[in-house]
């Protein structure tokens, strides 16, 4: 036990960058407590602190797949990730150096968040994906490098790997929201990087390039994602290319019938189309048609003041 504590203290003394990361995460966590409404934080607030929603990331706020790792607003989530980074991060930084540790974290955050986003419509928040990448790297290195020997590595592996399906179960039945894809992809990435200088170096390098390419491509083209389709729809909508926008909104609804973005924007387009028809009919004196169109608008938007006021003006 004394030897373990001595090692931990050595890790702490030679790992300043890890403490900088922890301090920044702490600052973000504390700041977010002043913006919480009960247990919730708005998407606007999360975006402000570095965790934009999926549609915004697909709308070229790509920095969000890196800065989202620093964002925590629930105490349990923050403490779990902070303690994990304190132990695993200092352990790794001391052995590979600050520069390599920084690059490792950057790549881990990018790839784990990108895969989480591509397959769950949410990049997630927090350091979980990065911590799993660090653990995967350390675990794999225990077989390759004497500096990484861990007595309890098998127990640690069992606990860390079982935690992923447990979280997925709780996501489905316990109202949790853990980024399990980020955990798995982070762990896989860490293991691959650990073998970078081994006899499998060529294969690993190809694998890492593939992961990086897939991560970048997934930000630009994920046609199975409702959020990506919504982002494309909004882009065309802003350019007034309505027919193209409708196609993407309809695709978003095809992949997720409850898509608020898809449904709401299609309603907006429908109201705009009906408004144009009502305006034309009203000006031509075709009041029956105008009334019909106003009433159709109100079926979609019962509080549409323009339609309500013009209905009152009809003879």
Give tens-digit pLDDT for 203-234: 999 999 999 999 999 999 999 999 999 999 99
Whether the per-residue pLDDT at 161 is higher than 70: the answer is: yes
Mind listing the domains of the chain with CATH numbers? Answer: 2-220 (1.20.1540.10), 226-313 (1.25.40.10)
| 43 compared with 1, residue with greater pLDDT | 43
Whether the per-residue pLDDT at 176 is higher than 80: the answer is: yes
| 158 compared with 308, residue with greater pLDDT | 308
Secondary structure (DSSP) of 178-242: --HHHHHHHHHHHHHHHTTTSTTHHHHHHHHHHHHHHHHHHHH--TT-HHHHHHHHHHHHHTT-H
CB atoms within 10 A of CB 310: 19
Give the C-alpha separation, 295 to 266, whole Å.
18
Q: What is the mean pLDDT of residues 11-26?
A: 92
Task: Name every residue whose Cβ is closer than 8 Å to that of residue 277 and which is 6 or more positions away in sequence.
Answer: 289, 293
Burial label for 87, CB within 10 Å (0-12, 13-18, 19+), is middle
- Residue 57, H or E segment: helix 54-58
Q: What is the mean pLDDT of residues 179-199?
A: 93
Give the C-alpha separation, 315 to 288, whole Å.
10
Predicted model pTM = 0.90
Task: Place 38 in a pLDDT band, splitting at 50, 70 and 90.
Answer: confident
pLDDT score at 148: 83
Task: Place 149 in a pLDDT band, splitting at 50, 70 and 90.
Answer: confident
36-50, 77-91, 264-278: range with lowest mean pLDDT: 36-50
Give tens-digit pLDDT for 42-68: 999 999 999 999 999 999 999 999 999
Whether the per-residue pLDDT at 191 is higher than 80: the answer is: yes
Whether the per-residue pLDDT at 10 is higher than 90: the answer is: no
pLDDT score at 303: 93
Tokens for 65?
A: 């797949």
Average pLDDT, the chain: 92
Give tens-digit pLDDT for 234-247: 999 999 999 999 99
| 315 compared with 301, residue with greater pLDDT | 301
Give the C-alpha separation, 56 to 59, whole Å.
5
Give the C-alpha separation, 288 to 192, whole Å.
69
Q: What is the mean pLDDT of residues 89-94?
A: 94
Whether 224 and 204 have beta carbons less than 8 Å apart is answered as no
Whether 178 and 170 have beta carbons less than 8 Å apart is answered as yes
pLDDT score at 151: 63
Residues facing residue 40 across a β-bridge: 37
- In the chain, the percentage of residues whose pLDDT exceeds 70 is 97
Give tens-digit pLDDT for 295-314: 999 999 999 999 999 999 98
């Amino acid at each position: 036990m004394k030897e373990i504590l001595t090692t931990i203290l050595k890790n702490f003394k030679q790992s300043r960058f890890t403490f900088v990361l922890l301090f920044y995460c702490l600052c973000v966590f504390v700041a977010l407590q002043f913006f919480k409404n009960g247990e919730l934080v708005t998407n606007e607030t999360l975006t402000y602190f570095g965790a934009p929603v999926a549609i915004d990331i697909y709308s070229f706020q790509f920095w969000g797949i890196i800065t989202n790792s620093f964002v925590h607003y629930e105490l349990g989530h923050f403490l779990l990730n902070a303690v994990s980074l304190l132990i695993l991060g200092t352990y790794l930084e001391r052995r590979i150096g600050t520069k390599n540790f920084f690059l490792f974290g950057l790549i881990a955050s990018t790839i784990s968040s990108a895969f989480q986003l591509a397959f769950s419509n949410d990049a997630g928040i927090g350091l979980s994906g990065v911590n799993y990448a660090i653990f995967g790297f350390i675990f794999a290195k225990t077989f390759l490098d004497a500096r990484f020997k861990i007595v309890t590595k098998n127990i640690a592996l069992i606990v860390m790997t079982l935690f992923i399906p447990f979280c997925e179960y709780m996501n489905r039945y316990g109202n949790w929201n853990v980024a399990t894809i980020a955990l798995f992809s982070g762990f896989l990435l860490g293991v691959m990087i650990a073998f970078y200088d081994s006899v499998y170096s060529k294969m690993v390098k190809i694998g890492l390039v593939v992961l990086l390419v897939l991560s970048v491509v997934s930000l630009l083209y994920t046609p199975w994602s409702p959020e990506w389709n919504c982002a494309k729809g909004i882009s065309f909508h802003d350019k007034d290319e309505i027919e193209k926008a409708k196609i993407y909104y309809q695709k978003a609804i095809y992949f997720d019938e409850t898509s608020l973005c898809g449904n709401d924007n299609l309603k907006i387009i429908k109201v705009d189309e009906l408004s144009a028809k009502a305006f034309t009919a009203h000006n031509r004196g075709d009041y029956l048609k105008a009334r019909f169109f106003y009433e159709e608008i109100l079926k979609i938007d019962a509080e549409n003041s323009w339609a309500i006021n013009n209905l009152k003006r009809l003879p």
